[in-house]
Amino acid sequence: MKTSHQKGFTLIELLVVISIIGLLSSVVLASLNTARDKGRIAAGQKFSSYNYRSLGADAVMHTSLDSNPPTDQLGNGATFSIAAGATLATSDTPLKAGSSFLFSGGGSGSGNVTATLPRAITVDKFTASAWIKPTDATDGGWFLSGAPTSSGANRVFSILWNVSTGLITTANAVTTYNSTVTVPVGKWTHIAITWDGSGYSFYKDGKFMEKILGAMTNYDIGSIIIGSFFTGWDGFKGNIDEVGVYASALAQGEIEQIYAAGLPAHTLVDAQ
């Protein structure tokens, strides 16, 4: 009578197989995360470009921050000044071209870029957008403000990356509105906020996130402050690029028209 002997895997062979599977899984996950991040950046690019094209007639200021000093791409005559602590960063942009500005953060006297408008703009609605990349998990700050026409007046809006929570906050002269929109450290994220007369809508990478009902207390914009609060303190630490402010509120439906599920082939031309 013959006995059949079936040889199984040894412990070492099993460990080798498990190691190979783990290595392959890591490669696949890394590739997937890279693809997702590229898709997120592309969505933000479309959103920023759509703002520029569709709201151009209501533009207050738009700058790509590609030079020192920057220029107003819309030709509305804004003039720019640079405070110490704000420097041109030629190798770090979400668009892989041009430049961004790197801001040092800090308290009073924070580095910023000021775009002074040739005349005051009165807004009853607005859209403000920018690419931001926080670089320090311990140092947040205000990254975009609509400053009033006189030093004694209250700001029109200010937008904060809250270092304690990673959340985006907007504020007028009286009230602060804390969203649930998070921004990670070390990654480019496109943030936009609109006010339509009844409340503040928050967008992240081209997608509507939430709306918080609230009022605005001042309507006259004299300058746009990039990289700090409108008084120059509590600055943002990190990179900022492609900043736009418009005297019109982008409707949620306009964003959904471009980014709605099932319409990935929509182009900016198709949507207009």
Q: What pLDDT digit, counting tens, does each position of 184-229 carry?
A: 999 988 888 988 888 999 988 888 899 999 887 767 888 999 999 8
Q: Does 149 have pLDDT greater than 90?
A: no
Burial class (CB in 10 A: 0-12, 13-18, 19+), 155: buried
Contact in structure between 81 and 222 (CB atoms under 8 Å): no
What pLDDT, on a 0 to 100 scale, did the predictor assign at position 11? 72
Enter the pTM of the model: 0.75
Task: Kindly state the average pLDDT of the residues 58-83.
Answer: 87
What pLDDT, on a 0 to 100 scale, did the predictor assign at position 186? 92
What pLDDT, on a 0 to 100 scale, did the predictor assign at position 229? 86
Cα–Cα distance for residue pair 192/128, rounded to 1 Å: 6
Q: Does 172 have pLDDT greater than 80?
A: no
Q: Between the CA of residue 80 and those of 71, 192, 254, what are the distances in Å?
A: 7, 22, 31
Q: Does 87 have pLDDT greater than 80?
A: yes
| Residue found under tokens 């509305």 | 76
Task: Kindly state the average pLDDT of the residues 65-79.
Answer: 88
Task: Kindly state the average pLDDT of the residues 47-63.
Answer: 66
In this prediction, residue 239 has a pLDDT band, given cuts at 50, 70 and 90, of: very high
% of the chain residues with pLDDT over 70: 72
Q: Which of 205, 223, 257 is nearest to 48 (CA)?
A: 205
What are the helix and strand counts (H, E) for the chain? 3, 15
Greatest mean pLDDT among 32-41, 131-140, 211-220 lies in 131-140
What pLDDT, on a 0 to 100 scale, did the predictor assign at position 102? 95
Q: Does 259 have pLDDT greater than 60?
A: no
Query: In this structure, which amino acid lies at residue 76?
Result: N
